[in-house]
């Protein structure tokens, strides 16, 4: 199990664009999740990527197929104390699936033959959404027309570690603890009601740098 990507809800497409620009990142791609009621802008590094997610259609996000993910509520995290963060893991093609309980999420934009395993523990909307990516390759192995130049313009290469700051008093469940330990993510308890994300990144010039990302 490896980190595939991490998502963070933002208010809208303009907020996603502004946040990416403020971090000095180059957009890799954006996608409208037809039937799910969300869209994104993604910023890819060699081994994983950052997804800035936003709501586009509340009625789609509350439909029976989508509702269990809690995306509608996670978007409104400031008002109802949900978690705006998601962690997606990736398995090698020969790697067995995790043993913790999952349910099969089949959003309309995926081919009928694909589904997304979502941890049952993520029914707790105060905790991150934990799920398996349909893909098995890191961005560096994607076709050039999809991956582009990654973040070479900013001199950034790989995500070394993800630091999540949780609201005061939050306690992780056993599945979140497992996912954190196996994907290079670290959870820190904060002193407020907000979630935040920091990425520790390797650089072309050597050493590493930190990007602080706030919704």
pLDDT for res 203: 94
| Strand 196-203 relative to strand 85-90, pairing | unpaired
Low-confidence ranges of the chain (pLDDT < 70): none
CA-to-CA dists, residue 155 to 32, 47, 187, angstroms: 28, 15, 26
Edge-to-edge, what's the strand order for the sheet holding 38-44?
29-33, 38-44, 49-55, 2-9, 85-90, 129-132, 116-119, 102-105
Predicted local confidence at residue 158, as pLDDT: 96
Q: What is the pLDDT of residues 144-160, one digit of tens each?
A: 999 999 999 999 999 99
pTM: 0.94
State residue 68's pLDDT score. Answer: 97
The predicted pLDDT at position 206 comes to 85
Fold of 2-151: 2,3-Dihydroxybiphenyl 1,2-Dioxygenase; domain 1 (3.10.180)
């Amino acid at each position: 199990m490896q980190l595939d990507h991490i998502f963070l809800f933002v208010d809208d497409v303009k907020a996603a664009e502004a946040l990416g620009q403020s971090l000095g990142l180059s957009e890799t791609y954006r996608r409208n999740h037809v039937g799910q009621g969300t869209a994104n802008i993604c910023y890819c590094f060699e081994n994983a990527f950052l997804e800035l997610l936003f709501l586009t259609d509340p009625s789609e996000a509350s439909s029976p197929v989508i509702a269990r993910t809690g995306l509608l509520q996670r978007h409104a995290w400031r008002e109802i104390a949900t978690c705006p963060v998601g962690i997606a893991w990736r398995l090698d093609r020969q790697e067995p699936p995790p043993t913790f309980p999952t349910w099969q999420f089949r959003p309309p934009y995926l081919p009928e033959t694909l589904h997304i395993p979502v941890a049952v523990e993520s029914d707790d909307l105060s905790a991150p959404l934990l799920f398996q990516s349909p893909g098995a390759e890191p961005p560096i192995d994607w076709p050039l027309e999809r991956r582009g130049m990654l973040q070479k313009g900013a001199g950034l290469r790989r995500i070394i570690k993800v630091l999540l700051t949780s609201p005061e008093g939050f306690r992780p469940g056993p599945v979140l603890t497992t996912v954190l330990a196996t994907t290079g993510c670290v959870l820190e308890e904060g002193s407020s009601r907000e979630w935040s994300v920091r990425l520790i990144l390797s650089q072309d010039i050597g050493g590493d740098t930190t990007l602080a990302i706030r919704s």
